[in-house]
């Protein structure tokens, strides 16, 4: 594996291998010595054109636990045109000898452009590009689901037969896209629930069923309910009339959580709008995996960096 740009590129075996390595990486966090020497001498650059402290710190901890050198490069707010800064920055990083570039960018496809450009020879990890994909988030979600379902017997397993309902702003969600491809590859079946305004105009090629009714989706008793964040900028763009109406129709409130089967889990990629797409009670319930998702993010990112930097004479 040279780059991680989209979960569409992952085979089932690839994906399971990453999840399995992440299981080992998770064990490291419990040791007295929380560091592995695997990436000693390698340089990982966090290239963030968009603010995301959570994701950046997660990658940084992951790289450091593997003994890599980490450079944080925040390219936001540069005075040159944004386009020039992607190319110029890439060439600068190439000159610094970056082995892996972890890139977050507001433009869909920017990591792919970087990987194909010839400006830099490093492995590229997509840490979220526009409204396209966020592959490591999907991997950590899959990892979290698998651990909840199978515990210590997780290793080697997919998510065959698991039912997952994703609720909210599918149209603008890179988390949703990455999860749709990955969870399907792992054998899960997916349902999307949102108002029609927040669904892509054409999902005919997607391996999902689509609906508008959250209550019906809850009563179907899915194994997993994944709530997506509603961005503030959608509020006044006529995607729905008001936060109150959205919350009433598509928010996961205490009453809806109570109707879920006891074994169902509730996920959210964070940061949450408590009281909008998810109630405080739902977010803090025993069914919620929100905090596990954060912890698992480090293990998954360790596994991804390990996969990118091993196996090819990079």
Residues of this chain that bind other proteins (CB under 8 A): 1, 17, 20-21, 23-24, 27, 31-33, 35-39, 66, 81-84, 86-87, 105-110, 112-113, 116-117, 129-133, 155, 174, 177, 200-206, 306-307, 309-314
Residue 91: CB minimum distance to other proteins, A: 11
Q: How far is CA 200 from CA 135, 169, 204, in A?
A: 19, 9, 10
Contact 222, 238 (CB under 8 A): no
Instruction: State the nearest-atom distance from the C-beta of 255 to other proteins, in Å.
Output: 32
Our CB check for other proteins shows the closer of 37 and 77 to be 37
The three-class DSSP label of residue 197 is: helix
In the complex, the smallest distance separating the C-beta of residue 306 from other proteins, rounded to whole angstroms, is 7
* Comparison of 123 and 251: residue with beta carbon closer to other proteins: 123
User: Containing H/E element for 303?
Assistant: helix 290-309
Neighbours of 14 (CB within 10 A): 15
Q: Which is nearer to other proteins, 81 or 286 (CB)?
A: 81
Pick between residue 133 and residue 223 the one whose CB is nearest to other proteins: 133
Q: How far is the CB of 133 from other proteins (least distance, A)?
A: 7
The DSSP-derived string for 145-188 is HHHHHHGGG-TT---TT-EEEEES--TT-HHHHHHHHHHHHTT-
Q: Which two tokens stand for residue 100?
A: 């892996």
Minimum distance of other proteins from residue 137's CB (angstroms): 14
Positive/negative CA dihedral, 182, 186, 187, 188? negative
Residue with Cβ nearer other proteins (17 or 57): 17
Is the separation of the CB atoms in 169 and 234 below 8 Å?
yes
**Residue 199 beta carbon to other proteins: minimum distance, rounded to whole angstroms:** 9
- Taking the least distance from each CB to other proteins, the nearer of 95 and 313 is 313
């Amino acid at each position: 594996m040279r780059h991680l740009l989209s979960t569409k590129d992952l085979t089932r075996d690839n994906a399971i291998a990453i999840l399995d390595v992440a299981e080992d990486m998770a064990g490291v966090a419990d040791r007295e010595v929380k560091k592995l020497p695997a990436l000693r001498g390698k340089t990982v650059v966090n290239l963030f054109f968009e603010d995301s402290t959570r994701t950046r710190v997660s990658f940084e901890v992951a790289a450091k636990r593997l003994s890599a050198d980490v450079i944080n490069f925040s390219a936001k707010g540069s005075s040159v045109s944004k386009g020039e800064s992607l190319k110029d920055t890439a060439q600068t990083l190439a000159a610094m000898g970056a082995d892996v570039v972890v890139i977050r960018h507001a433009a869909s496809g920017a990591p792919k452009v970087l990987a194909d450009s010839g400006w830099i020879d490093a492995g590229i990890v997509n840490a979220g590009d526009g409204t396209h994909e966020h592959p490591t988030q999907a991997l950590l979600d899959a990892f979290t689901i698998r651990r909840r379902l199978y515990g210590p017997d997780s290793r080697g397993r997919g998510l065959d037969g698991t039912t997952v309902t994703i609720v909210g702003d599918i149209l603008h969600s890179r988390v949703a896209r990455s999860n749709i491809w990955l969870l399907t590859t792992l054998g899960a079946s997916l349902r999307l629930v949102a108002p029609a305004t927040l669904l892509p105009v054409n999902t005919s090629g997607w391996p999902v069923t689509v609906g508008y009714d959250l209550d019906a989706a809850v009563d179907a008793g899915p194994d997993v309910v994944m709530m997506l964040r509603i961005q503030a900028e959608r509020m006044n763009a006529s995607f729905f009339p008001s936060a109150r109406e959205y919350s009433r129709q598509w928010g996961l409130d205490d009453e809806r959580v109570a109707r879920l089967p006891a074994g169902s889990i509730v996920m959210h990629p964070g940061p949450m709008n408590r009281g909008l797409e998810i109630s405080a009670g739902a977010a803090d319930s025993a069914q919620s995996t929100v905090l596990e998702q954060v912890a698992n993010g480090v293990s998954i990112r360790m596994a991804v960096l390990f996969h990118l930097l091993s196996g090819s004479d990079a």
